[in-house]
Amino acid sequence: MKKLYLALAITSAITGAQVSAADINFSGYGSIRAGLTLDDDHFPRNFDYDDKIDFKPESVFALQAQTNINKDWSATLVMQARGEDDFELDARWAYLNYRISPETTLTMGRFALPYFRNSDTQDIGYSHNYSKMPRSIYRGQEFDVIEGVRLTHATYVGDGDITFKGSFGSFSGQASTANGDVDTKLNNIVQLSVEYSYEWFSVFAGILNAEIALDIDDQLDGGLMASLPGYTVRDNKVYNPANVAVYDMTETYMDEDNTLYISTGFTIDLEEWIFNAEYATYEIEDSFSETSEAYYVSAGYRFDRTTISLVVEDVKFADDYDNASSADPFVNGYLSAVNDSFARPSEYDSQGIHVRYDASAGIAYKLEYTYATDDLEDESNSIVTFGVDFVF
């Protein structure tokens, strides 16, 4: 409620202030979406639905206020409320733009981290043809948004458009893991991306490097001592029942470990046909979570107001147990289980069909049917979602 009162106070102050330089422009977007699984035997953990219809997981509302302070400076504030967070109002974006030149803009504040092609617009359901952006790539991590600076340069190369983005900043908050949300810090985030568009074809490539720290030390220590009676963890060292040190837990902790994201994708939008594909891989060095790969491929066709898209997705993690290096086989067994519990439950593949119907200006109805298989359990289920996306 405090955040809501703060947002209302900010909005009141904005609308009540005498802004001589320019008017304040209000706009917004949102999605009202419901979903459920068609079977109660297994609930795919990447889709947040069960066999009871639920309107919360993918519903969202947002209001944007934007003003031009003068010919060079502008300010933007986006307040957003997600159903998955009980519609608690949050400052999704809050930043200043400085126009260095007609082609170059400096952004300062809280903004989307563009390490995937559609990072800037993934929350705006109306902007794409999917019920929800493919989850293999757009998994909704909190660090999709960071605090820092970004430089954007857009120009022409031949008959095509090219856009460069470079960001530097940090993130402090929570991130989702297979074992729940954990306190997370990303420091010294450096992001670079380029996108080139020519008529019906566009291609994107990006890279991100950062130092990541997950607050899971106590969780890992407690799990080991609960799983192996007689073993203790003191000062980051594991001691067996004979009080002999058999492992250094810093080999498993995620404390200022280096992480590297690489992503690429392309779009072909030719007459009625639309093809999209994105691929991403990331690696966290010196930790229990080494390398992952994810991709989606989609093909769509427009029928007047209706667009039908077929989507195939896949997420895989490398089976790397380098941190299970203790001379004690019981400790290694626990460490291997940790690797599996944090990474492998997120492995899945899916095949889906998404239908979009443009009902009127600013309104699009969406329907999705997806058949998803969790690789670890080798269990599958069908998910259906439906709803409306809007902009104003």
DSSP 301-334: EEETTEEEEEEEEEEEE----TT---S-HHHHHH
Query: Residue 268: beta bridge partners?
Result: 201, 275
Q: In the predicted model, is pLDDT for residue 35 greater than 80?
A: yes
State both tokens at 78. Answer: 């986006």
Q: Which of 31, 126, 141 is CA-nearest to residue 82?
A: 31
Domain of 382? 97-216+254-391
Give residue 353's pLDDT.
98
Give the integer Cα–Cα distance in Å for 136 and 114: 16
Identify whether 52 is part of a domain.
no
Q: H-type helices in 91-179, by residue range?
A: none
On average, the pLDDT of the chain sits at 89
Residue 330 confidence (pLDDT): 95
Does residue 13 lie within any of the structural domains?
A: no
Tell me what pLDDT residue 9 has: 42
Q: What is the pLDDT of residue 3?
A: 46
Q: 173-177, 234-238, 372-376: which has the minimum mean pLDDT?
A: 173-177
List, in sequence order, every beta strand (DSSP E) within the chain.
Answer: 24-37, 60-68, 73-82, 89-101, 104-112, 145-157, 160-177, 180-198, 201-214, 232-234, 237-239, 245-248, 257-270, 273-284, 291-303, 306-317, 348-360, 363-374, 379-391
Tens digits of residue pLDDT in 47-90: 889 999 999 999 999 999 999 999 999 999 999 999 998 999 99
The rounded distance, in Å, linking the Cα atoms of 223 and 92 is 35
Q: Which residues pair with 61 in a beta bridge?
A: 30, 81
Residues in the chain: 392
Q: What's the confidence (pLDDT) of residue 11?
A: 47
Identify the bridge partners of residue 317 per DSSP, sorted by sequence position: 292
254-295, pLDDT tens digit by residue?
887 888 999 999 999 999 999 999 999 988 776 666 668 999
Report if residue 234 sits inside a domain: no
Phi, psi of 15 (to 5 degrees): -70, -25
Residue 268's CATH number: 2.40.160.10
Closest CA to 317 of 350, 338, 348, 347: 347
Q: What is the pLDDT of residue 179?
A: 60
Residue 231 domain flag: no
Strands of 158-256, DSSP E: 160-177, 180-198, 201-214, 232-234, 237-239, 245-248
How far is the C-alpha of 225 from the C-alpha of 333, rounded, in Å?
13
Instruction: Identify the pLDDT of residue 212.
Output: 87
| 74 assigned to some structural domain | no
Give the residue, 16 or 150, on which the prediction is more confident. 150
State the average pLDDT over residues 317-345. 82
- pTM of the full structure: 0.86
Instruction: Name the residue with higher pLDDT: 47 or 8.
Output: 47
pLDDT given for residue 65 in this prediction: 98
pLDDT(27) > 60: yes
How many structural domains are present in the chain? 1
Q: Which two tokens stand for residue 173?
A: 């908050």
Question: Under a CB-based contact definition with an 8 Å cutoff, are residues 52 and 37 in contact?
Answer: no
Whether 335 is in a domain gets the answer: yes
309 is a domain residue: yes
Higher pLDDT, 63 or 44: 63
Q: What are phi and psi of 44, to 5 degrees?
A: -55, 125
Give 220-231 as a DSSP string. HHHHHHHHSTT-
Rounded Cα distance between 130 and 370, Å, is 12
Flag whether 225 is in a domain: no
- Residue 304: phi and psi, rounded to 5, are 55, -110
For residues 163 and 267, give the distance between their C-alpha atoms in angstroms, rounded to a whole number. 15
Which range has the worst mean pLDDT, 74-78, 233-237, 279-283, 364-368?
Answer: 279-283
- Confidence at 28, pLDDT banded by 50, 70, 90: very high
Find, among 376, 333, 325, 346, the residue nearest to 136 by Cα: 346
Q: How confident is the model at residue 308 (pLDDT cuts 50, 70, 90)?
A: very high
Q: Distance between alpha carbon 349 and the CA centroid of its chain, in Å?
A: 18
| Edge-to-edge strands, sheet with 232-234 | 232-234, 237-239, 245-248
Residue 390 confidence (pLDDT): 98
CA separation for the pair 226, 234 (Å, rounded): 14
What percentage of the chain exceeds 70 in pLDDT? Answer: 89
Say whether pLDDT at 4 is over 50: no
Token reading at 342: 């944090």
